[in-house]
Amino acid sequence: MFWFQRPKWYENAVIYQIYPWSFQDSNGDGIGDLEGIISRLDYFRGSPHSLGVDALWISPVYPSPMKDFGYDVTDYCDIDPRFGTLEIFDKLVAEAHKRGLKIIMDLVVNHTSREHPWFQEARMSKTNPKRDWYVWKDPLPGGLPPNNWLAVSGGSAWTPDPSTGQCYLHHFLPHQPDLNWRNDEVRKEFKKIIDFWLKRGVDGFRVDAVAHTVEDKRFRDDPVNTHFVKGVDLPYDEYLHMYDENQPEVIGVINLICESSKKYRDIFIVTESYVDLTQLIKIYDGCTYRNHTPFNFNLFELFKKPWSAEIYRAFINAFDKLVGPKRVPTYVLGNHDHRRVLTRFGETRTRLLALMLLTLRGTVFVYYGEEIGMKNVEIPKHKMKDGFATLIENPSILRDPERTPMQWSDDLNAGFSEVEPWLPVSEDYAKVNVKTERANPESMFYLYKMLLYYRNASEALRYGEYVPRNAKSSDVFFYSRKTSKEEWFVMLNFSNEIVNEELVVEGRKLQIACSTYMNTPLSSKENTVTLRPYEGVLFTSS
């Protein structure tokens, strides 16, 4: 944050991700749509019952053959009829804005669908004017792929195209040919696309797979990953992605996108790169625009490590410090590509992580259903839809289980649709749903609502400095959020045992604002508070 300037809406905002296929069906076809989203806008903002988030990021709604559920686009300037029309999209933006809610589009820049007219032209001949819009190479002798690059979705990143005998590059499915971002016309075209949506009033873009947009000019082989364990690691991890991902030129793509949105007010750009802290800071440093922040997916890496306060404390302290006061960190517990957080950790620990997420300095993202404690749903093989699933026999990459219909009520199909939904509804929907949880002050929904209430009401919780604190127990991750006027404290007990902590900090007595155990009172005696297993507590100070 720039302390001397008024914060922008996106700085330290809470952004809610909608996966449109699964949010709300309005026309009885078993698939969510834009009218469905419009009918649910009060859920987010504008009524006393609203959650109180700042923006919606909507996963792709462009026309698409849906081999990758919208991440394979055939027209960047229209809406897929399954979801609605441009007019309905305009209505969505207008209705959201009426409520003070921002709309963020998903911008798929790395690749198109194989059915996009650009690719259809490009593949016609080696001399077609669109040929260089994609990345082509001759196969090696014997028809082998041009190099050892792998697709994230499995197999080689090259597919031979019979029309010319050359191979095209695809970092994801063969249905998703990679665009060539070294080509000026591609860059110009995306400037137009960005303009098209900004004119329609959208407030920002989540830029998909930006890390893959530029590859090594010499197409060198990636080095072997000597730590790779077959059958345990994802097949994609067999090589270190030194030449096919996160090339220095990617910053140029990010800057171009930010530059293109400069003439519009307060447009937020968040880019997708799975990188470690060092590389993340390079992205922050390389981008010259204040309205950009890279996603930080490092919590997903922490999730794979042993559950311990020390691991979270060390990462968050380091990250917050490296990002510094002039920029904004981001945090994510889940999205449409990862196992839901509740499935990883169970309810009690997920509550602790929710309290952490919503009290950290940074722009944070909530994946639909996280706020009611939705979990992954086991999908029988014959009902699987994810295009990645058909290519890889590796269950950990299948993404259908975290994409199931939103659970609104205990009505038929959880209130998502009147007909059988495209993916099965979770069996727990009679209990885990918005309607039931709204009536239960102990619920996950209530916890989110309360934390969002505090975050919106307090300058310190939203914009304040992050201050690492020392707890008595090493199992407790302790920090505060501070402005010159107020300070809030957070204690997170990572152990599954009772822990006693001091209630007096620098002569100030802490007062409990909210606990992840909700209404079950916390016991505090004089100057000591007793934290229960995996309990997270938010305190004010007098």
Residues that bind ligand BGC (CB under 6 A): 68, 71, 108, 172, 208-209, 272, 336-337
Shortest CB 336 distance to ligand BGC, Å: 6
DSSP per position, 38-106? HHTGGGTSSSTTS---SEEEE---S----TTTTSS-S-TTS--TTT--HHHHHHHHHHHHHTT-EEEEE
Nearer to ligand BGC, 208 or 437 (CB): 208
Which residues have C-beta within 8 Å of that of residue 176, sequence separation ≥ 6? Answer: 67, 68, 71, 72, 111, 112, 113, 114, 170
Contact 10, 266 (CB under 8 A): yes
Q: Residue 446 pairs with which residues in a beta bridge?
A: none
Alpha helices in 439-542 (DSSP H): 444-457, 459-463
Cβ(293)–Cβ(284) below 8 Å? yes
- Taking only Cα atoms into account, the Rg of the chain, rounded to an integer number of angstroms, comes to 24
Q: Which residue is nearest to ligand BGC (CB)?
A: 71
| List of long-range contacts for 33-36, beta carbons under 8 Å, 24+ apart | 33/82, 33/83, 33/84, 34/61, 34/79, 34/83, 34/84, 34/88, 34/89, 34/91, 34/92, 35/84, 35/88
Question: Using CB atoms within 10 A of its CB, is residue 374 exposed (0-12), middle (13-18) or buried (19+)?
Answer: buried
Give the dihedral sign, CA 306/367/349/514: positive
276 vs 285: CA distance, rounded Å: 14
Task: Exactly one of 208, 222, 320, 371 is catalytic; name it.
Answer: 208
Alpha-carbon distance values, 379 to 9, 152, 263, 401, 403 (Å): 39, 22, 46, 6, 10
Position 342, amino acid: L
Q: With beta carbons less than 8 A apart as the criterion, state whether 1 and 323 touch.
A: no
Task: Give 404's DSSP letter.
Answer: P
DSSP state of 8: P
| Minimum distance, C-beta of residue 244 to ligand BGC, in the bound complex (Å) | 14
C-beta of 71 vs 197, nearer to ligand BGC: 71
| Cβ nearer to ligand BGC, comparing 209 with 287 | 209
Residue listed under structure tokens 């019952």: 49
Q: State yes or no: is 208 an active-site residue.
A: yes
Q: Which is nearer to ligand BGC, 208 or 371 (CB)?
A: 208
| Rounded Cα–Cα distance for residues 215 and 192 (Å) | 23
Task: Report in angstroms how near the CB of residue 356 gets to ligand BGC at its nearest.
Answer: 23
Per-residue exposure over 175-204, b if at least 16 CB sit within 10 Å of its own CB, e if not = bbbbbbbebeebbeebeebbeebbeebbbb
> Which uninterrupted H or E stretch holds 257?
helix 250-260
Per the CB < 8 A criterion, the answer to whether 131 and 72 are in contact is no
Active-site hit among 80, 106, 272, 386:
272
237 given a catalytic annotation: no
Rounded Cα–Cα distance for residues 212 and 208 (Å): 9
Q: Which is nearer to ligand BGC, 208 or 222 (CB)?
A: 208
Query: Looking at beta carbons only, is 58 or 108 nearer to ligand BGC?
Result: 108
Q: Which residues are catalytic?
A: 208, 272
